Structure 1
């Protein structure tokens, strides 16, 4: 490659004085166009390798994060007609510290794919919720409205 083929192999002719100065500068700096072109090609190859390595490491990172998230996410499998409690996310912590964060029980009316459920309350109203916001209700459906009184006897 000659010093005149500077841009994409196109030949440019400079005015005679400028052309002499370019040749003098090349001789003075001992520039070798073939060596510079090879060095630039090597740099581009290294850049491509770095980009490929970064892509592979990002794919590995995403897979690890997905695995970590799936491990931390509870697999909840409920069937239609199960009784569940719903997490009350609108509960203000300071206004009702001792109040339970779970409301219900609700009846599962329909199970959607991807962990969503359609719940039904006592009045028959239906609404859809995320499966991560519900947990199984261990009590009996009949005992929901019962009031239980307990007396403590002191033995002397």
Structure 2
């Protein structure tokens, strides 16, 4: 290496540190079969093409960015614009959320509870065996007292037990629904003529 002009031996010479008991072994050259050789050749050509494209892109960017101070100022302006756009989007999202919340709040029907009315109570206790077809409403219960902020004191009509529950767990109990006259309709098989 020392006889080649322009190349320093310190750059090209290197050492591989091995343990004392390590044995040097020369491995045979590995050869690829012809179809595999074509695949490897294509991949190497692709990589060389990518390196060439990256080098061209680097040269182009370097020629455009000769004035680094202007490029830095331009990037600062772009970041400030991006921050303004983000702030506008945040404000628009908060306005949208407020309008949506107000619209949904207007759609909520306010329940009015009167003392003596009958209601069904939603049973939200943990069940080990899910009765899929069983009703989740217990009752009927009668309203004993109405507290502010939606709390209701109810009394079970069967056992006389008094409970204090949230008004959202109650729904009106309609009793005495009369079933009118039931008509019958007889169906016959159709007759097809040939």
* TM value normalised by structure 2: 0.44
**1:137 corresponds to 2:137:** no
2:171 and 2:68 mapped to 1: Cα distance?
A: 74
Change in 2 beyond 3 A, CA 1:113/1:41: farther
2:155 corresponds to 1:120: yes
Deviation, 1:100, is: 4.0
Distance 2:109 2:150 in 1: 10
Q: Over residues 55-92 of structure 1, what are the superposed CA-to-partner deviations in whole Å (9 max), with x where a residue is unaligned? A: 12321342244245435643211123322111234573
Provide the secondary structure at the position in 1 that maps to 2:82.
helix
**3-state SS of 1:66 partner:** helix
The residue number in structure 1 matching 2:145 is: 110
CA distance in structure 2 between the partners assigned to 1:51 and 1:28 by the alignment: 29
> Per the alignment, do residues 126 and 65 of structure 1 end up closer, same or farther by CA in structure 2, a change over 3 Å counting?
farther
Paired position in structure 2 for 1:93? 131
CA change 1:85–1:59 in 2 (3 A) is: same
Higher relative contact order by CA 8 Å / sep ≥ 6: 1 or 2? 1
Cα distance in structure 1, aligned partners of 2:135 and 2:131: 10
Within 5 Å, which residues of 2 pair with 1:45-124? 45-67=80-102, 69-70=104-105, 73-90=108-125, 92-94=130-132, 97=133, 99-122=134-157, 123-124=159-160
Q: Please, which runs of 5 or more residues in structure 2 have no aligned partner?
A: 1-61, 177-194
* Unmatched segments (≥5 aa) in structure 1: 1-25, 141-156
User: What is the alpha-carbon distance in structure 1 between the residues aligned to residue 64 and residue 94 of structure 2?
Assistant: 49
